[in-house]
Amino acid sequence: MRNCGQRRTRLEARRHPTHRACTRRLEPQFRNCRREGEREMENGGGKGDVPDDANEHCPGTQSEEAGKADACAGCPNQQICATAPKGPDPDVVAIVERLATVKHKLLVLSGKGGVGKSTFSAQLSFALAEMDHQVGLLDIDICGPSIPKMLGLEGQDIHQSNLGWSPVYVESNLGVMSIGFMLPNPDDAVIWRGPRKNGLIKQFLKDVDWGEIDYLVVDAPPGTSDEHISIVQYLQATGIDGAIIVTTPQQVSLIDVRKEITFCKKVGVPVLGVVENMSGLRQPLSDLRFIKSDEAGETDATEWALNYIKEKAPELLSVMACSEVFDSSKGGAEKMCHEMGVPFLGKVPMDPQLCKAAEEGRSCFADQKCSASAPALQNIVKKLIKTE
């Protein structure tokens, strides 16, 4: 009989009795891992830090089983873990003291990557700053920090004073902190395991001197794992206003975003609302590019088309062209919010001018170019301020 490692169609694999047996053997282990992860979420990451050189299945340095469990046998940290004092992380006290001057803390999350979460975080920070609030933007996407680029701060360095790390400032009332400022080369990859990433997040919260600010916006990576557990664990004692969750309209994104909402409910973080980003393409007809196709290939017909419109129907130049990019036939984010009992904040269309503003590191509210996206973003910000 062929074993499970051999190639076969999905139908064959389902019918193959040995494959079903393998699946049954894996199911209890998967369920145990899932239950363990859920318990850790509910306890705000209750396992504590796991050392980089720890054995597999390490219970964590803050566990009562630390240094005593079967998995600890032969670990170089066994004696230290067994004798070290257990209890609350003393750094949490320092974090509470440091963030006592921060009035509101907003998490920007998404279970799915590539939905425009960092773009939304950057523009939300710009909007709050332009409303004369004192704003801090903390980028905890350790492996993919894009916030420095989106705020026009590439190449800037972090400075340290006797009060701690100083944020890099876009304006006098908008400061930014990101690991992107610490990389000697922007092309360097951050290849870190969970404990080291968690340690940097703790250091950001403990050592960055934000001063007296109204809003701290935290831009998190996609998913519901290490960075999310850490930021919630460390911030819960300081008071989190809630999470803003970003998605795109199609089901392939909403599947993961539902998990993010469930994560927030399990760890006790209020969901302030969901933003449907890239909700259809909108741009002025005059910004479109036109192409003619024939047997010889494609030729640019933009100049000809615009001149024809100006001559025959000039009123069309003020019309907005709209099209659906993602499939929203299943109801999109609005329907999901209704089903899961969370607020829906609104839709932000896909706007090439917004993408350009993000690439150039500037606010989309500073001029009239982002005519499709800026009003939608402003309405969402107003709802958030009203919610608070």
Whether residues 252 and 103 fall in one domain: yes
102 labelled ligand-binding: no
81 labelled ligand-binding: yes
Average pLDDT over residues 61-78: 81
pLDDT (tens digit, 9 = 90+) per residue, 289-319?
Answer: 999 998 888 999 999 999 999 999 999 988 8
Angle subtended at Cα 43 by Cα 56 and Cα 28, rounded to the nearest 5 degrees = 50
- Residue 72 placed within a domain: no
264 labelled ligand-binding: no
Residue 152's pLDDT is what? 96
143 labelled ligand-binding: no
| Pair of tokens at residue 170 | 């876009």
Q: How far out from the chain centre does Cα 84 lie?
A: 35
Q: How many domains does the chain have?
A: 2
* CA dist list (Å): 230 to 45, 64, 203, 227, 376: 7, 20, 11, 5, 32
By the 8 A CB rule, do 110 and 221 touch?
no
| Pair of tokens at residue 31 | 């369920």
Residue 342's pLDDT is what? 97
| Pair of tokens at residue 291 | 């192409």
Whether residues 314 and 356 fall in one domain: no
113 labelled ligand-binding: yes
The chain-wide mean pLDDT, for the chain, equals: 85
111 labelled ligand-binding: yes
Whether residues 158 and 99 fall in one domain: yes
- Residue 181 placed within a domain: yes
Whether residues 173 and 293 fall in one domain: no
Residue 23's pLDDT is what? 42
Average pLDDT over residues 198-226: 94
328 labelled ligand-binding: no
Whether 33 has a pLDDT exceeding 50, the answer reads no
Look at residue 30 and give its three-state secondary structure.
helix
Whether residues 109 and 124 fall in one domain: yes
Whether residues 276 and 302 fall in one domain: no
Task: Check which CATH number belongs to the domain holding 350 and give it.
Answer: 3.40.50.300
223 labelled ligand-binding: no
* CA dist list (Å): 20 to 3, 15, 67, 362, 373: 11, 8, 38, 55, 50
Whether residues 250 and 295 fall in one domain: no
Residue 87's pLDDT is what? 62
* Band of residue 77 on the pLDDT scale cut at 50, 70, 90: confident
pLDDT (tens digit, 9 = 90+) per residue, 126-157?
Answer: 999 999 999 999 999 999 999 999 999 999 99
Whether residues 224 and 313 fall in one domain: no
Q: At what angle do helices 17-42 and 251-267 cross, to 10 degrees?
A: 50
- Residue 147 placed within a domain: yes
Could you tell me which residue, 342 or 38, shows the higher pLDDT? Answer: 342
| Alpha helical stretches, state H, the chain | 10-15, 17-42, 78-83, 90-98, 117-130, 147-150, 194-207, 226-235, 251-267, 302-312, 332-340, 352-360, 374-387
Q: What residues contact residue 45 under an 8 Å CB cut-off, 6+ apart? A: 229, 230, 232, 233
266 labelled ligand-binding: no
* Band of residue 210 on the pLDDT scale cut at 50, 70, 90: very high
Whether residues 172 and 198 fall in one domain: yes
Whether residues 308 and 340 fall in one domain: no
Query: What torsion do the CA atoms of 347, 124, 144, 213 make, to the nearest 10 degrees?
Result: -150
Whether residues 287 and 206 fall in one domain: no
Residue 133 has, within 13 A of its CA and on its CB side, a CA count of 20
Q: State the distance between the two ends of the chain, measured CA to CA, in whole angstroms.
A: 64
DSSP string, 154-212: TT---EEETTEEEPEEEETTEEEEEGGGT-SSTT------HHHHHHHHHHHHHHB---S
33 labelled ligand-binding: no
* Band of residue 31 on the pLDDT scale cut at 50, 70, 90: low
Residue ranges making up the domain that contains 292: 282-321
* Band of residue 387 on the pLDDT scale cut at 50, 70, 90: low
Greatest distance between any 2 Cα atoms in the chain: 85
- Residue 52 placed within a domain: no
- Residue 248 placed within a domain: yes
Residue 99's pLDDT is what? 96
What does the alpha-carbon distance between residue 101 and residue 212 come to, in Å, rounded to a whole number?
5
- Residue 66 placed within a domain: no
Whether residues 244 and 357 fall in one domain: yes
pLDDT (tens digit, 9 = 90+) per residue, 86-131?
Answer: 666 788 899 999 999 999 999 999 999 999 999 999 999 999 999 9
- Residue 275 placed within a domain: yes
Q: Which of 295, 339, 288, 336 is nearest to 316 (CA)?
A: 288
